[in-house]
């Protein structure tokens, strides 16, 4: 039995690199180059937005991380994102987030809605940014995105020191304007400095994005109403098989 809120067992410290391992060999570079020339990698080319924001673990909201989302849009109401812990080429793939419009969200059953979070606060507070994109270019879409809901699973808890992706996926929540949802100022400061931006300035510019309070669904941001988060447990069971395994 293992759980997303359980600390994993120890691993050898190695040289401390995350992940550990030898550098990419010349042979591998050659193979990759060959593949790149011959393969079109269409779903990857379709990713067209980078968003930097923050998230916290739903089973422990005191653990907060800076996230780098690479979004691809499926239609006006749905985006899918690969999430990394940094924007440089060594960024570690830490999870996946799905973003849906409020219209689609309302069609989900309550049990499903509990796993989703809103984006309005983090956009209005200037926490959600599109690095390098001038604010006035971004602004029209922010109003749409402010009404979306997200579902974010984290598969690599780098912030707790995991040098490899250990354990079970964890559900993440989004920043909110109250208590456990407030992002630590030093985390925001560090992020703002690295991009030469100011979340406070953005917050002033985004004042007109706010929607009416009543649009927030009662099941999203589940912790706000209930004081509860979610963990995932893994159980061993009998596998339904068509042939021997392994």
Partner 1 sequence: MEGINVSKHVEVPGDPTKTGTAILETATATIQGFGPINKIHQHLCAFHFYGHDMTRQVEAHHFCGHQNEEFRQCLIYDRPDADGRLIGLEYIISEDLFLTLPDDEKKFWHSHLYEVKSGVLFMPGVPGPIQRQDHEKVAKTYGKVIHFWQVDRGDTLPLGIPQVMMALTRDGQLDQNLAQDVEKRFGVSFDEEREKRAYMEGPAHGIHPLANAAGKGIHTVLREVDCKPVESVPKVFV
* In the complex, least distance from residue 239 CB atom to partner 1, rounded to whole angstroms: 3
Candidate segments 117-125, 140-148, 185-193, 196-204, binder of partner 1 by CB under 8 A: 140-148
Distance CA 149, CA 243 (A): 41
Closest CB to partner 1 among residues 65, 224:
224
Q: How far apart are CA 155 and CA 167, in angstroms?
A: 8
**Residue 220 burial (CB < 10 Å; 0-12/13-18/19+)?**
buried
Q: Which of 60, 135, 159, 203 binds partner 1 (CB under 8 A)?
A: 60
Stretch 170-209: interaction string toward partner 1, x if CB under 8 A: --------xxx-----------------------------
Decide if 36 contacts 206 (C-beta within 8 A): no
Looking at 46, 160, 189, 200, which residue binds partner 1 (CB under 8 A)?
46
Omega cis (within 30) before 246: yes
- Tokens 């304007």 found at: 177
**Does residue 99 contact residue 67 with C-beta atoms inside 8 Å?**
no
CB of 228 to partner 1, least distance (A): 5
Tokens of 37: 């020339």
**Which residues between 61 and 120 bind partner 1 (CB under 8 A)?**
61-62, 68, 70, 72-78, 80-82, 84, 86-93, 95-96, 98, 100-101, 104, 107-108, 112, 115
**Measured from the CB of residue 97, what is the shortest distance to partner 1 in angstroms?**
10
What is the separation of C-alpha 222 from the centre of its chain, rounded to a whole number of angstroms?
17
Size of the site for partner 1 (CB under 8 A): 119
Beta carbon of residue 163, minimum distance to partner 1 (angstroms, whole number) = 9
Burial of 58 (0-12, 13-18, 19+ CB in 10 A): buried
Joined tokens for residue 46: 């379709």
Q: Which stretch binds partner 1 (CB under 8 A): 58-66, 118-126, 186-194, 197-205?
A: 58-66
Which of helix, strand or coil describes residue 154?
strand
User: Cis omega (within 30 of 0) on the bond before 19?
Assistant: yes
Instruction: Write out the binding residues for partner 1, residues 1-30 only, by CB under 8 A.
Output: 2-3, 5, 8-12, 14, 17, 19-25, 27-28
Residue 28 CB, nearest approach to partner 1 (Å): 6
Least distance in angstroms from the C-beta of 224 to partner 1: 5
């Amino acid at each position: 039995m293992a759980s997303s809120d359980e600390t994993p067992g120890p691993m050898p410290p190695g040289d401390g690199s995350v992940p550990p391992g030898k550098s990419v060999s010349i042979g591998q570079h050659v193979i990759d180059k060959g593949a790149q020339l011959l393969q079109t990698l269409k779903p990857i080319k379709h990713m067209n937005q980078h968003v930097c924001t923050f998230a916290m673990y739903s089973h422990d909201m005191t653990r907060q991380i800076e996230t780098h989302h690479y979004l691809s849009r499926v239609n006006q109401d749905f985006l899918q994102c690969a999430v990394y812990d940094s924007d440089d080429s060594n960024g570690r793939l830490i999870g996946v987030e799905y973003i849906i419009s409020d219209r689609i969200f309302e069609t989900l059953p309550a049990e499903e809605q509990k796993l989703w979070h809103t984006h309005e606060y983090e956009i209005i507070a200037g926490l959600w940014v599109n690095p390098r994109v001038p604010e006035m270019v971004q602004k029209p879409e922010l109003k749409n995105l402010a009404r979306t809901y997200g579902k974010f699973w984290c598969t690599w808890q780098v912030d707790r020191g995991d040098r490899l992706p250990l354990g079970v996926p964890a559900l993440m929540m989004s920043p909110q304007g109250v208590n456990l949802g407030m992002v630590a100022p030093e985390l925001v400061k560090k992020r703002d400095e690295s991009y030469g931006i100011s979340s406070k300035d953005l917050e002033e510019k985004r004042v007109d994005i706010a929607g009416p309070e009543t649009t927030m669904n009662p099941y999203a941001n589940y912790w706000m109403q209930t004081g509860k988060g979610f963990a995932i447990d893994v159980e061993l069971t009998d596998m339904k098989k068509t042939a021997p395994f392994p």
